[in-house]
């Protein structure tokens, strides 16, 4: 009796291999979230690269200047300023107003403000222009941040 019932049994059928497609819904949700994060990161990196382009170009040009004059350094800084600020805010600035715009009223750069006439209107003085060049390099590095703060309603410097 038992022998007869064993003969009536069918062979064991193994199930097919698990398929990777279509994936389970949690995998789809996680994939969409990861894709959105990667695309957001790429967009942010591209925007940051594009925004800092004037800064990179001006710093490279500033380093290339062998014996810069105050007007050379000012021209580079104004190019950067025009990239980040409205033209009507930048165009009329010169001399002491320009230095104040750049933040020379800070304690560490007060000497530039005091010697403004010597810097812009008298023959080149190596040490004074060197300090102005260092100040300009520092300002160029932070110009985009100051512009962003100014757009948000904060003070420029």
Q: What is the pTM of this model?
A: 0.72
The string of pLDDT tens digits covering residues 24-38 is 999 999 999 999 999
63-120 per-position pLDDT tens digit: 998 888 888 999 999 999 999 999 998 988 888 888 888 886 667 677 788 888 888 8
Phi-psi label, residue 95: left if phi above 0, alpha if psi -120 to 50, beta otherwise: left
- Report the alpha-carbon distance of residue 148 to residue 52 in Å, rounded: 12
């Amino acid at each position: 009796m038992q022998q007869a019932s064993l003969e009536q049994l069918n062979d064991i059928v193994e199930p097919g291999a698990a398929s990777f497609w279509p994936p389970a819904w949690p995998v789809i949700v996680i994939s969409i979230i990861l894709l959105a994060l990667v695309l957001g990161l790429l967009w942010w990196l591209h925007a940051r690269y594009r925004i800092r382009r004037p800064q990179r170009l001006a710093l490279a040009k500033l380093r290339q200047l062998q014996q810069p004059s105050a007007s050379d350094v000012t021209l580079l800084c104004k190019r950067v300023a025009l990239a980040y600020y409205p033209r009507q805010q930048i165009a009329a600035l010169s001399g002491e107003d320009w230095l104040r715009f750049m933040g020379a009223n800070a304690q560490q750069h007060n000497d530039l403000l005091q010697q403004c006439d010597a810097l812009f209107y008298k023959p080149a003085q190596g040490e004074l222009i060197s300090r102005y060049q260092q100040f300009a390099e520092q300002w160029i590095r932070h110009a985009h941040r100051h512009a962003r703060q100014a757009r948000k309603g904060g003070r420029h410097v």
